Amino acid sequence: MQFGGVLPEDAPDPRFEREQQLQRMPIPVFEFAHQRSVGVTDIGVSSGTDERGMNMMSVSVSATLWRNPDDKSDPVNLADLDDQTRRSLEEVPPWPRPTWLLEYVERMRYPTLWDAVQTWWHRDESEYTTLPYLLVHHANHILVNRFRDQLGLGLHVWDSPALTSERVVRHGVDVIVDDLPVIGAEIDTDPFVYAIGANLPSGGTLTAVISREHVEYVDLKFARRKAS
């Protein structure tokens, strides 16, 4: 989420618009199953159309991570921020800001499971709608946007051998969806992220990708997202 210029105090919360966009999703949206170490904070929506109408839609769910959910004031919960980011969070502008923006700024102090869970729907099946393809696509999306420096990625990032591929996808993995095991797949070879996913009984595909450093704090179970 990025903002430019000065937002008036009564600027609308952009999450409301995305909630409206969610109404177009033909299948249920999934997120992490309820757990005290994870607080869902934001969603992202993307879709595509052709001459026959909407042909794909994906919804990503981001979340705040609490390493010590029993004491949220514990410094262990804070993100490892660089000095510039930390100073920007401490600076208070001389104008009032929307409440939702203040909440967003406060969340930036804590680790974020960014775009961690994605629900995919495609009208038509193809080589680009399979579970292995979507799992790799999601994993590389996180790698490119969150680990670019560590991977030494340059301009043509999608050609980099540092990214993962379908050849490392392991099948036959149990994924807990709505309290029931579903046969899915995982990527457990990348040094920076772990990925897991499954074709959903309700239709569509679920993929989840999180940083290795956060895996120990998260229960990798998933549940339907309740309407806001």
What would the pLDDT profile of 172-205 be if each residue is shown by its tens digit?
A: 999 999 999 999 999 999 999 999 999 999 899 9
Which pLDDT score is estimated for 9?
77
Q: What distance in Å separates the CA atoms of residue 185 and residue 174, rounded to the nearest whole number?
A: 8
Dihedral angle of Cα 74, 77, 83, 86, to the nearest 10 degrees: -80
Which pLDDT score is estimated for 8?
79
Q: Is the pLDDT of residue 3 over 50?
A: no
Lowest mean pLDDT among 105-109, 116-120, 204-208: 105-109
**If phi over 0 gives left and psi between -120 and 50 gives alpha, with beta otherwise, what is residue 152?**
left
The DSSP string of 111-153 is -EEEEEEEEEEESS--TTSSHHHHHHHHHHHHHHHHSHHHHT-
pLDDT, one tens digit per residue, over 41-92 is 899 999 999 999 999 999 999 999 999 999 999 999 999 988 888 887 877 7
Which pLDDT score is estimated for 16?
82
**If phi over 0 gives left and psi between -120 and 50 gives alpha, with beta otherwise, what is residue 5?**
left
Position 122: which residue type?
H
From the list 157, 121, 119, 120, the residue with the least C-alpha distance to 140 is 157
Q: Is the pLDDT of residue 6 over 60?
A: yes
Domain extents for the chain?
Answer: 16-65+114-224
Q: What distance in Å separates the CA atoms of residue 56 and residue 69, rounded to the nearest whole number?
A: 36
* Residue, of 64 and 149, whose pLDDT is higher: 64
Q: What distance in Å separates the CA atoms of residue 12 and residue 21, rounded to the nearest whole number?
A: 15
Which pLDDT score is estimated for 82?
84
The DSSP string of 76-115 is GGS----HHHHHHHH---SS---HHHHHHHHHTTS-EEEE
Separation of CA 119 from chain center: 10
pLDDT, one tens digit per residue, over 116-136 is 999 999 999 999 999 999 999
Please state the pTM of the whole predicted model. 0.90
When the pLDDT of each residue in the chain is averaged and rounded to a whole number, the result is 91
**Contact predicate 3/101, CB 8 Å:** yes
